[in-house]
Amino acid sequence: MPTLVNYGGEGQFFGGGSLCTSSIDLDRLYSMGSSMDIYCPPHKRARICGPYAISSYEYEGQHLSSIEELPDECLFEIFRRLPGGRERSSCACVSKHWLFLLSSMRRTEISGGVEYSAKEDKEMKTSSSGDVEMVSCDVSGGLEGDGYLTRCLEGKKATDVRLAAVAVGTNGRGGLGKLSIRGTSSTRGVTNIGISAIARGCPSLRALSLWNLSSIGDDGLVEIARECCLLEKLDLSHCPFLSNKGLIAIAENCRDLISLNLESCPKIGNEGLEAIGRCCPKLQSISIKECPLVGDHGIASLISSASSVLSKIKLQGLNITDFSLAVIGHFGLAVTSLVLGGLRNASEKGFWVMGNAQGLKKVSSLTIASCHGITDVSLGAIGKGCTNLKQMCLRKCHFVSDAGLIAFSRAASSLENLQVEELDRISLRGVIGVVSKCEMKLKSLSIAKCMGIKDLLEGSLMLSSCTSLRSLSIQNCPGFGSASLAMVGKLCPHLEHIDLTGLCGITDAGLSPLLENSEAGLVKVNLSNCLNITDEAVSTLVRLHGGTLELLNLDGCRKVTDASLVAIADNCLLLNDLDMSKCSITDSGVLVLSSARHLNLQVLSLAGCSMVSNKSVPFLKKLAGSLIGLNLQHCRSISSSIVELLAESLWRCDILS
């Protein structure tokens, strides 16, 4: 007995069997329990892998068999004979070992897969889970699932275990059609194991996006190529260990590929692009950004091979020269959208040849950014060569002047939308020239951050109105003042949308000519951060255009007060979006606004209005019938508890506070 009492359990394990050696001893111990107390010191419990049950065989030294001791070959044969996807999913929940073993099975290796897949596809259409989003698709062909499901894994959720679970869970349940994986640089995340599991379990995969995955290599992509032959869209971004080997495998096996996006993949170069051009006759869209090994040979081979169907080209930050631009101009017969950015080695000659090659006649949208080869001469050639061009965006092309911009607008006979940003050689003369030369075609003009624009005398310019222009946006051009705005306003009588964000130089006097000259009626007006706009301009705006105005943004107009809200309440009939952030309005203005019966505001922003207090809450409740968005951020005079009460009344409204 002293030995039993002093025993501490150190260094010994209790094997899980009975303390008694026979059933007689067990009966004696139970009979003693009613008449005496027994001290049982703590002891260490053995870890048992399988289900535990007391058996006399264990006392006699015979080992209890466990299903975990079955070799993988036996488990594989068991798993492949399970009757359906629900049973396989249940088995996958037992352990990671079983999960990865199930994920290693191809759909063709599952016994009877074709017969029950059609039944499970039908069940999947009528049910959904929180982890998988259903997407519409054409279900007219194939018994093995056409990819009804889409899944996105981001950050820490992007792991091999989750991918294996996706592969098992979607296999036989309609099939995974779209997968997006966005990893993080701080964690190891997804490896080739997880990608291979998707490849084997999801042969219906049609769209794959891999972003910021530093632990995957060519082996995973090769497995995707072998098993997912229906792949149509591939997006590889910031994957440093993917090389030409993986891309060549995709090209040789996924011949239905229609879209390829490569960004910051330093090991992918010309060989991979050559294979894509040679083996993928259906390729319609190509986007390549900041891949240092991609050069003229790869781009030229790709574009010349897919010239009959390739409709979208986007090339940014590549080491390509004038040769590639010449190939684009000659072989881009089907191209409708072209984006060229950061092409440091492309000169004026290359862009000039691209425009004069007469191969870009179907291009309707063209964006050129940060290309020193764009000059007045090359821009004019592009305008002449792209006869169907409707939308043009020029950004950070510092050698373009007024003359080049005017010549381009004259040559591009179909131009409807022109966006100009950070062209410091552009002046007001160029803006007026563009408006005047596009008398019957230009519908939208956007100018942003052009530091060379300054007010000029009206008599020094040749003025001609543009009756087609419907949208005018001039943002953050500090030299664009009241005189410039008045001049432009007189030339555009049919404006419906105006955006004058950040024009600190304009005043009520400069805005009035534009408001008075607009015949069609303004629908959307953005005057955010126009610091010199006052109640007078707002009153004029709503008096002249209150019958058509739907959106009004006065964010940061600190000289606007309650008087503007009174004018808005009296004159605006269709206004549904109003932004009064950081304006000098008070509770009285909110009261007037909420009392306007004909006003049906859907979105209202009062962010940063320090004089709006808790007293406005009852007034805001009156807007419950129409309001779906309310911004009360940085309203220091409104307490958080009051906002919570307001949220109960405006239950259908999203409130930011």
Is 237 a residue whose pLDDT tops 70? yes
Q: Which two tokens stand for residue 61?
A: 């030294």
Burial group, residue 548, by CB count within 10 angstroms (0-12, 13-18, 19+) = middle
Across 525-540, average pLDDT: 96
Residue 529 has pLDDT above 90, yes or no: yes
- What percent of the chain is predicted at pLDDT more than 90? 61
Q: How far apart (Å, rounded) are the C-alpha atoms in residues 338 and 360?
A: 9
- Give the contacts of 559 (CB within 8 A, at least 6 positions apart): 531, 532, 533, 534, 535, 584
Q: Residue 390 in contact with residue 367, Cβ under 8 Å?
A: no
For residue 30, what pLDDT is reported? Answer: 36
Quick check: 244 pLDDT over 90? yes
Q: What is the pLDDT of residue 172?
A: 59
Taken in order 496, 501, 505, 508, is the CA torsion positive or negative?
positive
Mean pLDDT of the 228-254 span? 96
* Global pTM exceeds 0.85: no
CA atoms within 13 A on the CB side of 514: 29
pLDDT at 33: 39
> Tell me, what's the pLDDT at 12?
39
DSSP letter string, 150-169: EEEEEGGG--HHHHHHHHHH
Query: Is residue 106 very low, low, confident or very high in pLDDT (cuts 50, 70, 90)?
Result: confident
Question: Cα 38–43–45 angle (5° rounding)?
Answer: 125
pLDDT, one tens digit per residue, over 116-142 is 444 444 444 444 333 433 333 333 333
The helix/strand/coil state of 478 is coil
Q: Mean per-residue pLDDT for 517-523? A: 91
Interval 159-168: pLDDT, tens: 988 898 888 8
CB 608 within 8 A of CB 582: yes
Q: What share of the chain is helix, strand, coil (3-state, %, to 5)?
A: 40, 15, 45
pLDDT score for 89: 77
Confidence check: pLDDT of 145 > 80:
no
Are 569 and 599 contacting, i.e. CB atoms less than 8 angstroms apart? yes
Token digits for 644?
């919570």
CA 148 to chain centre: 21
pLDDT one-digit tens code per residue, 541-555: 999 999 999 999 999
Distances (CA, A) of 195 to 36, 116, 219, 368: 63, 26, 9, 36
- In the predicted model, what is the mean pLDDT of residues 638-653? 90
Packed helices 270-279 and 296-305: angle between N→C axes, nearest 10 degrees: 10
User: Looking at 165-179, 217-231, 331-345, 619-633, which range is the least confident one?
Assistant: 165-179
Average pLDDT value for residue range 29-56 = 41
Mean pLDDT of 179-190: 81
Average model confidence (pLDDT) for the chain? 83
Mean pLDDT value of segment 222-238? 95
Q: Which residues pair with 559 in a beta bridge?
A: none
Report which of 206, 194, 145, 188 is spatially closest to residue 170, judged by C-alpha positions: 145
Answer whether residue 63 shows pLDDT above 90.
Answer: no
What value does the mean pLDDT take over residues 321-339? Answer: 96
In this prediction, residues 629-642 reach a mean pLDDT of: 93
| pLDDT surpassing 60 at residue 17 | no
**Which of the four pLDDT bands, split at 50, 70 and 90, describes residue 53?**
very low
Q: Is pLDDT at 71 greater than 50 in this prediction?
A: yes
Please write the tens of the pLDDT for every residue from 245-296: 999 999 999 999 999 999 999 999 999 999 999 999 999 999 999 999 999 9
**Residue of higher predicted confidence among 573 and 86:** 573
* Lowest-confidence pick of 99-108, 335-344, 577-586: 99-108
With a cut of 50, say whether residue 427 has pLDDT above it: yes
Distance of CA 431 to the CA centre of its chain: 34
**Stronger pLDDT, 346 or 26, i.e. the higher one:** 346
Q: What is the pLDDT of residue 50?
A: 39
First-to-final CA distance of the chain: 71
Question: According to the model, what pLDDT value does residue 461 have?
Answer: 63
pLDDT of residue 435: 86
CB contact set of 349 (below 8 Å; sequence gap of 6+): 322, 373, 378
Residue 64: pLDDT over 70 = no
Judge whether residue 391 has pLDDT over 50. Answer: yes
**Is a pLDDT exceeding 90 seen at residue 336?**
yes
Amino acid identity of residue 647, one-letter, is: A
Query: Which pLDDT band holds residue 69 (cuts at 50, 70, 90)?
Result: confident
Q: Which residues of 500-527 are buried (b: 16+ CB within 10 A; e: fewer)?
A: bbbbebbbbebbbbbbebbeeebbbbbb
The answer to whether residue 15 scores a pLDDT higher than 80 is no
Give the range among 81-85, 560-564, 581-585 with minimum mean pLDDT: 81-85
